[in-house]
A and B are shown apart, each in its own frame.
Chain A
Amino acid sequence: MRFLKKTRYEQDIALLEHNGQRFWYGLLLLLVLGAPFLIDGFYLGELSLVAIYAIAGCGLMLLVGFTGQVSLGHAAFLAIGAYCHTWCLGAGVPLLPSLLIAMSLSAAAGMIVALPALRMTGIYLAVATLAFAVIVEQGIAHWESVTGGYRGLAVPDASLFGLSVTDTTFFYYFCVALMLLATLALLNLLRSPTGRAFVAIRDSETSAQGMGIGLARYKTLAFALSAALTGLAGGLLAHKIGYLAPDAFNLIMSIQLLLMVVVGGLGSIHGIFYGALFLGFLPQGIALLRDALPPALANIPGLEPGIFGALLILMLIVEPDGLYGRWLKIRQYLDEFPLYRAKTHKRQKQFLRTERLR
């Protein structure tokens, strides 16, 4: 175990606390940057998908993990980002401004969703976001003049500094750079008064209100920021999939995004990346599994969502703190090796109480 003696103020606000962290995160950064030289094109493409998921994960984690507002409709923001970006590119807007426009539009949509969110909590909110997502999906399907409806919409090529996003290596670096920016932004946001207000709202709305936090303002802000990040991910996803159709952004997508943050570990930044890796490489895993299974089992309709569902259930029952929570426990076990007590992390159960009259 390591005990830090902080002697300077800079130490207290540093993102990386000690040399051990600097070494390991530095190594990770080197690996991420060196990935194009280590692995072939297909897996590089998958890694850029992971980076895109991580950006969306930052958005969703901010909302679900840090502000405590459950959203079952984040695919809608992904869709708004993707379609807006594609439309802007088609209209001749360059890559970066187009992404910015997509983010702003998505943020505006997030603020609209936040309007009912101010008056409700828990499942009501989850269902309101779900309803919003269904309406957006249907809207995209029927607004054919802009979105192409079910026929789909081809994503035009775009380039930055003369490099095209169809170039796998450049696209990978582009996604990773934006992912790092998003992560840094989230890390710093959470250390600011705004981020603290978000966490306070998550832990107890009533006490947050008592501390003088304007619920309406901060919930709207959380939704807007979350939607903006997800919209950015949507814009990048448009390039990744190359051809947009409304059913790419259906309910299952929303739930996969939520699955990502739950599997990673709610309320932790590390969890986003564990979750994104999980979500990005699960289809490969399932494809491998499909090859190994007898054909009668492998051709089940809905096998993939079914496996998603089973994993979600398993995760919630066995390890509600997510992959990152599990890693923390393993690390603590190693730290305290001979002294670890079996019940250190015994889950506290609480009895249910509601304020219902009937």
Chain B
Amino acid sequence: MDALQLLVAGVSQGCVYGLIALGFVLIYKATEVVNFAQGELMMIGAFIAYTFINILAWPYFYGVLATLLSMAVIGVVLERLLIRPMLGEPPFAVLMLTIGLGFLLRAVAGAIWGAEPKTLSTPYASDVLQLGEIIVGYGNLAIVLGTGVLCLALFLFFRYSRLGIAMQAASQNQLAAVYSGIPVARLVTGVWAVSALIAAIAGVLVAPVSLIDPQIGFIGVKAFAAAIVGGFGSLPGAMVGGLLIGIAEQFAGLYLPPGFSDVTAYIILLVMLFVRPQGIFASMMQKKV
């Protein structure tokens, strides 16, 4: 039963990684930019939810709605201020920029909300669901459900909607996309808004089960490992990678000496890069000259 309980915890943790990884993959898929600040966006989302729900005492539902809206706006603002001037620069430069952005956001969050950990209060988080001998917190259940729904929505969006297909076209060949009448610059803004929205959802779901402080953005690095394990640029891959790392971490924490649980994600990542660098769901081809 121990193993099953660990599995449940692992799935829940893995969904968190998967959620953040989804944000990475979304931006990467649409703009070929790697947004290293995705974890920090999640952290900001959690803090904004905390502000609305705990400090301003709004009802949970409206608080979450306001959080999603403000995060979408933040996504647009970030894109217009920082990413738009970098349009057409090498991807490495943009990667560096988002690393800088991550540090900046952490300092901003520290300045506004302070360094002490906070908890987001929700109507459901303190209850648990008893399934036979396994105990599942509603907070964890919400993470799993929310992730599932979001995954499905994104999959449908990229598969069937005009906007989603336009985004993929823009990522494969910007010039051709411009010629086909796709407003690439506006599209990129939209992608950042959606990606910040996903970060906000991750933040709102994670905040009740773990404490919020400016440092939680660092789990973005593990989520990044998840995205790569799954094959960068693949939405199902991001989820599978996240789940794999989440579950492996829980088991490593129990069965391996201390310290291993922290590096499990990276060991899996390195092994994956040795064995199958393109990830579980490959989407890359050999680069041409």
Q: Could you list which residues of chain A lie within 8 angstroms of chain B, going by C-beta atoms?
A: 70, 115-116, 119-124, 126-128, 130-132, 134-135, 138-139, 141-142, 204-207, 251-252, 255, 258-259, 262, 297, 300-303, 305-313, 316-317, 320, 347, 349-358
Contacts and interface: CB of A to CB of B under 8 A. Distances in A.
B133 interface: no
Contacts of B97: 312-313, 316-317
* Residue among A135, A141, A302 with max Cβ neighbours from chain B (10 Å): A302
B93 interface: yes
Contact of A358 (B82, B86, B234): B234
Dominant secondary structure at the B interface = helix
A306 B40 CA distance: 12
A321 to B, nearest CB: 11
Interface stretch (B68-76, B122-130, B197-205, B220-228): B220-228
Contact of B107 (A116, A255, A306, A357): A306
Given A122-B91, A206-B289, A313-B100, 8 more contacts: A128-B269, A130-B221, A138-B259, A262-B96, A300-B110, A302-B115, A351-B175, A358-B283
B39 to A, nearest CB: 12
B101 A127 contact: no
Nearest to A262: B96
14 contacts: A119-B277, A123-B34, A123-B232, A128-B273, A139-B263, A142-B259, A255-B103, A262-B96, A302-B115, A306-B110, A350-B88, A352-B88, A356-B171, A356-B283
Interface string B216-244: 00000100110010001110000000000
Contacts of B104: 306, 309-310, 313
Contacts of A134: 221, 262-263, 266
B217 to A, nearest CB: 11
Contact of B171 (A116, A302, A310, A352): A352
B263 to A, nearest CB: 5
Task: Say which size band chain B's interface belongs to.
Answer: 35 or more
A279 to B, nearest CB: 14
Given A128-B269, A142-B259, A301-B110, A351 B174 contact: yes
Contact of B214 (A204, A302, A316): A302
B111 A300 contact: yes
B231 to A, nearest CB: 10
Given A132-B270, A262-B96, A297-B111, A355 B263 contact: no
A145 B46 CA distance: 40
Contacts of B181: none
Contacts of A205: 287
B225 A302 contact: no
Nearest to A130: B221
A128 B270 contact: yes
Contacts of A116: 270, 273-274, 277
A309 B225 contact: no
Interface string B64-95: 00000000000000000010011111011101
B223 to A, nearest CB: 11
Given A312-B99, A356-B172, A356-B284, A305 B289 contact: no
Contacts of A297: 111
B228 A258 contact: no
Nearest to A303: B107
A192 to B, nearest CB: 25
B86 A317 contact: yes
Interface string B258-289: 11001101110110011001000001111111
A123 B91 contact: yes
Contact of A300 (B107, B265, B283): B107
B273 A309 contact: no
Contact of B88 (A132, A258, A351): A351
B273 A306 contact: no
Contacts of B168: 358
Given A120-B277, A302-B214, A138 B93 contact: no
Given A130-B221, A138-B262, A316 B284 contact: no
Given A123-B91, A312-B100, A354 B221 contact: no
Contacts of B111: 297, 300
Contacts of A131: 225, 265-267, 269-270, 273
Contact of B101 (A70, A300, A311, A313): A313
B250 to A, nearest CB: 17
Contact of A355 (B106, B234, B286): B286
B269 A305 contact: no
Contacts of B107: 300-303, 305-307, 309
A316 B259 contact: no
A285 B99 CA distance: 22
B262 to A, nearest CB: 6
Nearest to A123: B34
A259 B103 CA distance: 12
B108 interface: yes
Nearest to A116: B273
Contacts of A132: 266, 270
Contacts of A115: 274
B270 A251 contact: no
B102 interface: yes
A354 B172 CA distance: 5
A112 B32 CA distance: 28
